Amino acid sequence: MAKRFNACIDQHHAALFKHALWLLGSRQDAEDVVQETYCQAWRSFSTLKEDDSALAWLLTILRRSTAREYRGRARNNDLREALTAGLNEQASGIARQDMLDVFHALDSLNPAQRETLLLFALHGFSYREISARLEVPVGTVMSRIARARMALRKQLRVDDGNVIPLER
């Protein structure tokens, strides 16, 4: 079982860490919460039936850990460093400022909207999958994403309606 678990976290470590980083805005906090997630996940790993759903399962655990440990804590301690450490702007085509803008845009969302958006845009889950994971109706997922979309557009001063697709 340990081998299967190690393979599981090797596969999903990056996604988990990025998720935590965008949620918390601090590498140290993200590191802590991912580590805590691994510990929690190991204890209940036998309940994970299908490896295909491992990421969603880990994200659920991470969400609980985040909510418990970091509720109300200031998100961005060393934001620029946290988000853009080691970033090669030219090679990646990603501008540091864009990342900071996205972070501030995410920051303007409430936690539920932020998390829903990350599940949708970062991890590519469908509405239905997010609904199942967050245990909210599909309509709630859709409305959260719509609001997040509007907020992002406003924050990023984007006039195009294609910030994120309306349906998936």
> Which residues make up the interface to another protein (CB under 8 A)?
6, 9, 13-14, 17-18, 21-22, 27, 31, 34-35, 38-39, 42, 82-87, 92-94, 98-99, 102, 118, 121-122, 124, 152, 156, 158, 160, 162-165
Burial class (CB in 10 A: 0-12, 13-18, 19+), 46: exposed
Q: In the bound complex, what is the minimum distance in angstroms from residue 70's beta carbon to another protein?
A: 17
Nearer to another protein, 83 or 134 (CB): 83
Is the CB of residue 105 less than 8 Å from the CB of residue 150? no
Nearer to another protein, 130 or 137 (CB): 130
Radius of gyration of the chain (CA): 16
Nearer to another protein, 135 or 159 (CB): 159
Q: How is the chain split among helix, strand and coil, in percent rounded to 5? A: 75, 0, 25
Q: In the bound complex, what is the minimum distance in angstroms from residue 137's beta carbon to another protein?
A: 23
Q: In the bound complex, what is the minimum distance in angstroms from residue 49's beta carbon to another protein?
A: 22
Nearer to another protein, 42 or 48 (CB): 42
Extended beta strands in the chain, E state: none
Nearer to another protein, 45 or 53 (CB): 45
Task: List CB contacts of 58: < 8 A, sequence separation 6 or more.
Answer: 8, 9, 12, 16, 37, 41
Query: CA-CA distance, 139 to 125, in Å (whole number)?
Result: 15
Q: In the bound complex, what is the minimum distance in angstroms from residue 86's beta carbon to another protein?
A: 4
Task: List CB contacts of 57: < 8 A, sequence separation 6 or more.
Answer: 41, 48
Q: In the bound complex, what is the minimum distance in angstroms from residue 66's beta carbon to another protein?
A: 15
